[in-house]
Amino acid sequence: MAEMKKIATRDSYGETLVELAQQGADNLVVFDADLAESTRTAWFRDVYPDRHFDCGIAEQNMVAVAGGMSTMGYVPFVSSFAMFAAGRAYDQIRNTIGYPHLNVKIAVTHAGLSVGEDGASHQCCEDLALMRAIPGMVILSPADAVEARAAVIAAYNYNGPVYLRFSRLATPVFHDPESYQFQIGKGEKLTDGYDVAVVSTGLMTTEALRAAVLAKRQGINVRVINMPTIKPIDEEILLTAARECRRIITVEEHSVIGGLGEAVCSVLSEKMPCYVRRLGVQDQFGHSGPAAEVLRDYGLSAEAIAAAVREVVRPDDPAPAASDAPAEEE
């Protein structure tokens, strides 16, 4: 892949909040829990200080206050690290936001292993599983800065609770801001191929694209599907991939328990069973280290994905029939 500009999706989040307000979103308010510089909501605070509320290190209170504000016609964006929002404030997100289906957006940064040096206590790899289980919760996980901007705008325009997952790590921007179209509940086919489909989300999509290039050199054609909406997931694009490729690999910077991989399997096991391998965090906690090294340690690099592709496709053997193949392989 050609060298691309790198921007963290959290940066796009902060910029888009300001953009929305400047374009007339007068009901937009932003909450943070003493992490505004890191979550980039400080950029909104600096321009609209009367509409930014720092609740201190009190994430549970912050979520509850945001819920109350939403009942008065405001559209609150609640921000913290994934561990402190989805983790510490889960009760309030479920009961105060989810149960009454309030119009609150939970926008988290520093999700997954790529938090890097912050270590296992901050590497939240369970948040998608927690949020998927809340009825009516929409979950968005953009792959680059362009998609992050589009996701924030879509979340603002959506009437109901939304969980947005952003990264700390700067990642390549591969979408064209002039032509990219985002829609909640829709995946995106980035490359064509019929040997195997790789379904990825968040910053893993760039690694999947790189893996497709590596696999191509081995004579394997990979269909890369970017899945920016984890819930509701795009069933149509998955069923087409299962029918045409017969093998699917999912890749996520999250536990294989309850995340993208299981969301994909829940669709295919009922509607079109085929071989699925889930790449992600294998029932482990993270560890401290530079982000790129940590991701490699957990098999979430382009090289590791390409190796999994080769193992699954086995060019010298015919593909397993959809009805005969196992549902997954560890």
Which are the contacts of 197, defined by CB distance < 8 A and separation ≥ 6? 222, 223, 224, 225, 241, 242, 244, 245, 247, 248, 249
Residue 74 contacts residue 25 (beta carbons within 8 Å): no
Which are the contacts of 17, defined by CB distance < 8 A and separation ≥ 6? 28, 30, 41, 43, 44, 77, 152
The catalytically annotated residue of 3, 15, 37, 59 is 59
| Nearest C-alpha neighbor of 170 from the set 124, 206, 210 | 206
Q: Where are any strands of DSSP class E within the chain?
A: 6-7, 28-32, 52-54, 75-81, 105-109, 138-140, 162-165, 171-172, 188-189, 196-200, 222-226, 229-231, 247-255, 275-281
Q: Which residue's structure tokens are 């379904």?
A: 199
252 is catalytic: no
Q: Please tell me the distance from the alpha carbon of residue 120 to that of residue 186, in angstroms, as a whole number.
A: 32
- The residues annotated as belonging to the active site are 59
